[in-house]
Amino acid sequence: MKNLSSMKNPSSILTAALFLPLTVCIAIAQSAPAMPSAPAAQTPSPPPQTPSVPVPLALPSPAASAAPADPFPATSPRYFTAASPTVETVNSFLHSMWGFDTNRMWRVMAIMPTAAPGVTKVVAFVTTKGSDAKVQSAIFYVTPDGKHAIGQGSGVIPFGANPFAPLRDLLKERANGAARGAPGKDLELVEFADLQCPVCKQAQSTVDQIVHDFPNAHVVFQLLPLVDIHSSAFKAAAYGICAQKQSDVAFFKYAAGVFDTQEALTPATDDTLLRAAAQRAGLDGDAMAACAKTPATRDAVAADIKLAEDAGVEQTPMLSVNGRLLPLSSADIPYDTLKQLIQFQATLDGVNSGATPETLAPHPPPPTLQSLPK
């Protein structure tokens, strides 16, 4: 797995390790508390114990000042010396990242300038509810433009009171893949997927469930061929562009056909298999093959790859929920958690997702042989 910076062809995207918003909240907090169903608010700050005089830039120990009613130590003005961002902005940012978890609590402890001009250091203490919970520190740095943060283990991520809004706007304008679900884009889910990616094939049942569970969502299949690792991905995407020109329904039938024979795709077999997938979708296979070879179609696939690069998508399958990027794999995010994240983002954006309380309720995993009564 590689990042964009390590690729020979900068217009290509390789499958990368999970690190986007959900992992950011784990990496910054350095803990992974349980995933509940509604957003949390930061703990208020009653006057707690005053620590002994710390050395410059040292913060009071979280463990030393924990208390049942308020697990965090007092804040001190001496640690809030940067002009920006404000505490309100940081709290809004953390709420966007962590608010889906009602079990999580935090307090911003410091916003300080650094030796790097314009770069600000932010420190927050974070914990979970419960008598045995431990307080840990979250440290990240805000760039001079105030639009990005750099966290430990998270890389560069969007920052601000509404950190996902810029990507949401970008995808509203440029995501042009085949779509299903609601016609409006108030709640837009964009799936970045490669037709030769095995995990993308597995993820289609999850996307089908999302379309069912969130009837007000506009769900887009955005082609992202991983050309450095999948030899037939670009050609499969080109056929897909041509299928979509006929209709979105035709595209989804074609994509299902490609996924059905995905394991057999090679440079020697791809033309035959892609023609067959098009024909099973009710399309003219020869016409699709001719369309896929045109410069206009190849340029359209290149534009899809460029969109993913501009969106910061570095792996497939990836799901944007109104600009919030989430890996679309049950191994990374269980579906119950994914539902809560979609609903939380919709609520943040003031959108009715159409999901019912029964849909959003967590569902226990199916029984296994080990869990059955003996």
Ordered DSSP codes for 315-343: SSSEEEETTEEEE--TTTS-HHHHHHHHH
pTM higher than 0.75 for the full model?
A: yes
Tokens found for residue 71: 């697990």
What is the predicted pLDDT for the residue at 24?
30
108-to-50, 233, 320 alpha-carbon distances in Å: 16, 46, 28
> How buried is residue 331: exposed, middle or buried, by Cβ count under 10 Å (0-12/13-18/19+)?
exposed
Please state, in angstroms and rounded to a whole number, the distance separating the CA atoms of residues 142 and 16.
24
Query: Can you spell out the DSSP letters for 258-318?
Result: HHHTGGG--TTTHHHHHHHHHHHTTS-HHHHHHHHTSHHHHHHHHHHHHHHHHHT--SSSE
* Tokens (6 digits) for 44: 């208020």
The residue among 63, 69, 28 whose CA lies nearest residue 46 is 69
Structure tokens at 370: 């080990």
Residue 69's pLDDT is: 72
CA distances from 171 to 13, 24, 90, 176 (A): 17, 21, 25, 8
The whole-angstrom separation of Cα 372 and Cα 11 is 50
pLDDT at 152: 80
Mean pLDDT by 10 residues, the chain (374 residues): 31 25 30 33 39 41 54 95 97 96 95 97 94 91 97 89 98 98 97 98 97 98 97 98 98 98 96 98 97 98 98 96 94 93 97 96 70 54
- In the chain, where are the structural domains located? 20-153, 166-359
Q: Report d(CA 298, CA 261) in Å as an integer.
A: 23
Q: Which of 125, 127, 131 is closest to 68 using CA atoms? A: 131
Alpha carbon distance 295, 204 (integer Å): 30
Cα R_g (the chain), whole angstroms: 23
**Regarding the domain with residue range 166-359, which homologous superfamily does it belong to in the CATH classification?**
Glutaredoxin (3.40.30.10)
List all residues 6 or more positions away from 159 whose beta carbon is below 8 Å from its beta carbon.
Answer: 85, 93, 142, 143, 146, 147, 148, 149
Q: For residue 276, is it left (φ>0), alpha (ψ between -120 and 50) or beta?
A: alpha
C-alpha–C-alpha distance, residues 74 and 307, integer Å: 45
Query: In the structure, how many helices (H) and strands (E) does the chain have?
Result: 11, 10
For residues 232 and 237, what is the distance between their CA atoms, to the nearest angstrom?
A: 9
